[in-house]
């Protein structure tokens, strides 16, 4: 007879930015199939905005955030996390270093987005990529997408400012100012041939409300939701009943 097992505790290394971390926790709940409170995933959220800016650091203009992120991981581990999600794309430029020192598995947001593109039926498509200047310049998505068979179309250098404007508007608690530049960037990628678009910064999904996404006419993969779906799948699989 199969015996149910407790779901793993998910640690969330948030605060990069704070609204993205809080939104990830909310979307995790919203996307979890549940008939009662007890069907949801136990979550420990560390939403610490004191982590130095990731883009500035990678572009040689600011303090390295690695130690601050490691402190957050250690705190989550001590609190009982069995698995950790990091709802910040640019933080994954340090993923290998973080994973090497973590005592529990880390989910990878880029692989989660690749999985979500396939879920949306965009496998093998030409994918338009939006993100921070560091994410785009350092090719955070390019290699993983290409290895999964996607043709990558990155935001043109002259349009990166649109991504930056949208991201900054969300980070300063003015998401209503974020939609226009984000939408303009999406439309330019589509004009250049994108058949799907990756919102490759966790502020960008907050700039483009779910209700208006169908209007663009191509699938938009949301890195917050993609990571949440990956966490739900991993935790659900781990909690599957053990065979007698």
Active site residues: 88, 201
CA distance linking residue 229 with residue 77, whole number of Å: 22
Q: Could you tell me if 66 and 94 are in contact, meaning their C-beta atoms sit under 8 angstroms apart?
A: yes
* β-sheet bridge partners, residue 45: 12
User: Would you say the C-alpha torsion 39, 120, 161, 179 has a positive or negative sign?
Assistant: negative
CA distance linking residue 128 with residue 220, whole number of Å: 9
Q: Given the structure tokens 């966490």, which residue do they identify?
A: 231
Angle of the 179-191 helix axis to the 160-171 helix axis, nearest 10: 150
* β-sheet bridge partners, residue 136: none
Tokens describing residue 125: 């498509």
- The C-alpha angle with vertex 231 and arms to 228 and 236, in degrees rounded to 5, equals 125
Q: What are phi and psi of 5, to 5 degrees?
A: -115, 155
């Amino acid at each position: 007879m199969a015996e149910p097992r407790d779901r793993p505790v998910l640690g969330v290394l948030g605060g990069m930015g704070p609204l993205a971390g809080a939104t990830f926790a909310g979307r995790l709940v919203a996307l979890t199939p549940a008939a009662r409170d007890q069907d949801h995933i136990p979550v420990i959220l560390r939403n610490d905005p004191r982590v130095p800016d990731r883009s500035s650091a990678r572009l040689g203009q600011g303090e390295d955030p690695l130690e601050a992120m490691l402190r957050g991981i250690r705190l989550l581990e001590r609190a009982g996390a069995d698995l950790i999600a990091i709802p910040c794309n640019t933080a994954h430029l340090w993923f290998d270093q973080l994973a090497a020192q973590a005592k529990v598995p880390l989910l990878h947001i880029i692989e989660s987005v690749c999985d979500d593109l396939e879920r949306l039926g965009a496998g093998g498509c030409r994918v338009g990529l939006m993100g921070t200047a560091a994410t785009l310049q350092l090719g955070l998505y390019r290699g993983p997408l290409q290895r999964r068979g996607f043709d990558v179309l990155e935001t043109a250098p002259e349009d990166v400012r649109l991504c930056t404007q949208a991201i900054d508007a969300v980070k300063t608690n003015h998401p209503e100012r974020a939609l226009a530049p984000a939408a303009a960037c999406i439309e330019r990628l589509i004009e250049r041939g994108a058949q799907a678009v990756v919102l490759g910064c966790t502020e960008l999904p907050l700039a483009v409300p779910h209700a208006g996404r169908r209007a663009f006419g191509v699938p938009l993969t949301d890195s917050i939701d993609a990571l949440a779906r990956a966490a739900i799948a991993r935790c659900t699989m781990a909690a599957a009943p053990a065979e007698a």
